[in-house]
Copies of this chain bind each other. A is one copy, B any other.
Amino acid sequence: MSADYIDQFVECADIIQVGARNMQNYALLKELGKIHKPILLKRGLSATIEEFLLSAEYIMANGNNKVILCERGIRTFETYTRNTLDLSAVVAIKRLSHLPIIVDPSHACGRDWMVSSLSKAAIAVGADGLIIEVCEDPENAVSDGKQTLTPFCYKKLVKELRVLAKAVGRDIA
A residues lining the B interface (CB < 8 Å): 1-5, 21-22, 24-28, 31, 45-46, 48-50, 74-81, 84-92, 95, 108-109, 113-114, 117-118, 120-126, 160, 163-164, 166-168
Contacts and interface: CB of A to CB of B under 8 A. Distances in A.
Contacts of A49: 78, 80
18 contacts: A48-B79, A49-B78, A74-B76, A76-B77, A76-B84, A78-B89, A81-B88, A84-B86, A87-B118, A88-B109, A90-B117, A91-B109, A91-B114, A120-B125, A120-B168, A123-B124, A164-B168, A166-B167
Contact of A164 (B3, B75, B118, B124): B124
B113 A117 contact: no
A76 B79 contact: no
Nearest to A87: B121
Contacts of A114: 88, 91-92
Given A86-B84, A87-B85, A91-B117, A21 B25 contact: yes
A167 B91 CA distance: 21
Nearest to A110: B88
A12 to B, nearest CB: 18
B46 A45 contact: yes
A161 to B, nearest CB: 10
A88 B76 contact: no
